[in-house]
Amino acid sequence: MRRSAAILAVVAAVSLAACSSSTGGAPTTSAPAPSSTSSSMAASGSITVFAASSLKGSFAEIATAFEAANPGTTVTYNFGPSSGLATQITQGAPADVFAAASTKTMDTVTTAGAASNPQVFATNTMEIATPASGGASVMSLADLATAGVKVAVCQKDVPCGVAAQKLFDQNKVTVTPSTEEVDVKAVLSKVELGEVDAGIVYVTDVKAAGDKVKGIEIPADQNVTTKYPIAPIGASKNAATAQAFVDFVLSPAGQSILAGAGFAAP
């Protein structure tokens, strides 16, 4: 019931925002104002959104709110590692929108001419996840370098893997991972199952996992930040709805859902 109420509140916010814009009211956030294609008349039919694994929970909520605000629309997702999704898109996979976990990954798609004018819609930082019970004692980044401590990270070509390596390098911590996973959700799964003593994931993943893991915060002066860009795909067969979805993610309603999941504003 609380979830339904939250969704209705988001829909109400969208409707209020639309009314305000029609009377000349100014936007109340720094997010770009939705374009004219984001109206319910322009948005119709189905779209497929390719999105980074770390966006799974928040984007599921965004899809529900977007569909409620735009009757007759359907959002289907393909979640996975950003680098793999980018490769699929550049090879012609039928995507309408791409939301990546790094600007570098988005650059792969824009350089190939598959998308243009991406906009950063959120940022995220890293956190150490440890099993809810048992495992080696890990209280800081330095502990990850201790002999015998099993650490899971993402593969080196995946944004969360790039961020983990940057985290180790800038803090001069030598970590030899016991496993490198395909995406951040796979790293989190290893921690939840107690197969490793710690994993480097995003703060949003620790929050989403609830009491399944324990989070060890990384001080701001030691941490790294990753930016999340989004863009409609040029070959989309439903360009109006693809743009409307991007606009919704950037809108106060979309930003509210992202903030609730632990993402920071761009």
In the chain, the domains with their CATH numbers are 2-123+226-260 (3.40.190.10), 125-225 (3.40.190.10)
Task: Give residue 235's identity as a one-letter amino acid code.
Answer: A
Q: Nearest 5 degrees, angle CA 93-CA 110-CA 48?
A: 35
Beta carbons of 161 and 177 less than 8 angstroms apart: no
Tens-place pLDDT, residues 115-129? 999 999 999 999 999
Within the chain, how many helices (H) and strands (E) appear?
9, 9
pLDDT of residue 133: 87
Q: How far is CA 189 from CA 194, 200, 209, in A?
A: 9, 12, 10
Overall average pLDDT of the 63-84 stretch = 97
In 3D space, the residue among 187, 160, 152 whose CA is nearest the CA of residue 82 turns out to be 160
Overall average pLDDT of the 89-112 stretch = 98
Query: Buried b / exposed e across 119-152, counting CB within 10 Å, b at 16+?
Result: bebbebbbbbbbbeeebbebeebebbeeeebbbb
pLDDT over 80 at 221, yes or no: yes
Confidence of residue 5 (pLDDT cuts 50, 70, 90): very low
Residues in Cβ contact with 182 at an 8 Å cutoff, skipping those fewer than 6 apart: 80, 81, 84, 154, 155, 158
Overall average pLDDT of the 42-64 stretch = 97
First to last CA, the chain: 31
CA 56 to CA 42: how far, in whole Å? 26
